[in-house]
Amino acid sequence: MLPSPPRQWPHPGRLNVPGSPTSGPTEKWSIRVAVLLVLTLVTVVTHQGMPRNAAPPPPATPASPAGPPVDASQIASAEDEDPVSIVTDDPTCPEWEPITAALNTELGNGWHQRDPSIPQTEWTDDQHTQYRAVAVAMRAAADKSVALAKQTPHRVMRELYEQAIAYWRAYADTVDNYRPSADHLAGAATSAAESIQSICAAIDFGAAAGRAALTLPGPPPVPESPLADPTHPPRFITGASAFCSEWVTMVGDYDAATREWRDRHDPNLPASQSPPDLRELNAKAATVMQQNADRTQLLGLLSGNLTAADFAALSSHYRRAYAMALPSYGLPDTHLDDAASRLQSLTDHACRAVRK
C-alpha cells in the first residue's frame, strides 16, 4: 500500500517483510584481501563492529547494464559523487505529494485488498478491469516522476525516483499476463515510493536535520557507473545472486530479532514518557539496529552494484540515526525508522522478483 505522505500522527504503519530461512552464501571468496580491506573500511567509517554471528559477505553481483549516453546537463544530480548521508532537504518533496496522492486515489478501487496469488487466467471481468486501471495509474505516476528524478540534487534520491519509475512500469507490463511472482514488482515499486515519502516526512518534521549529526557519511560510491536515463531507467536488480540471497536472509533475521520490540513499541510515546521496561527494551533493540546497519552497509559495499550500495548505505544511516535517537526519542523520529525499513524492503522485493 502507498499511504498518503504523513502530515500528522498516529504512526502511518510499519513494514513487516518476511524473510527466508537463514542460509550462508553459495560461493566462497577467492580474494580474501579485498574482503578484509572492505571490512576495515566499514569499521573505520561506522565505528561499529559486525556482529559475531553475522554471515560472511557474498560474492559481488554485477551492476545493472549501462544504457545509451545521457545528457548530464539535464540531470541536477549528475555531478553528485559525495558519500551517501541522511537527506536533510530536497526541493522535489512537495511535488512528489500530488503524484502519490493521485496514485492512491486510483489504487482505492479495491486493488489493495487483492489476492496476489490469483493468476490472470483466473481473474473475473471485474478483476481484469481493476488491474488494468491500476496499470494505467502506475504508468501515469511513473511518467510524472521523471521530472523529479532529473530535478533532485541528490544522487540517491534520483535513484529512488528511477526505481519507482522502473518497477511501476515493470508491474504494469505484467498485468495482461499476470503471474503471482510479479507481485514483488509492485512491492519494490511501493517500497521505493514509500522510501521517498519517509525521507521527505523526516525532512518535514525535523527528524532528518535533528538527527543527521549522529551519523557519519560513508565512503564515496564505488564502483563508478554511467548515468541512467531517468526517462527509461533500468531495474537495479536484474538477476538472482548470492548478494540477493544474503540480503533476503538479513531482512528476515532483523524482522525476527526485533519482533518483540515492534510489538511493544508505541511510536506515539516519547522517550520521556516510556516506563523503565520499555527503555530497557529500546536499548536492546538499538544494539540490534546498529548491527543490522553494519551488515546492511557491508553487503551494499560488496554488491558490485552502485545503486544497491547507495540504498544500503542510506538505509544504514537512517537505521543508525534512529537507534541513537531512541534514548531521547520524539515522535518525528519514527520517519527515520520507516525510511530504513522501506529502503531495505525495496531491495528485498527487487531480489525476490528475480528468483527462479
> What pLDDT sits at residue 27?
35
Low-confidence stretches of the chain (pLDDT beneath 50): 1-55, 57-66
> What pLDDT sits at residue 115?
96
How many other CB atoms are there within 10 angstroms of residue 77's CB atom?
21
Per residue in 201-211, pLDDT (tens digit) is 999 999 999 99
> What pLDDT sits at residue 251?
98
> What pLDDT sits at residue 67?
54
Pick from 225, 243, 223: nearest CA to 234:
225
Domain extent listing, the chain = 88-352
> What pLDDT sits at residue 280?
95
> What pLDDT sits at residue 166?
98
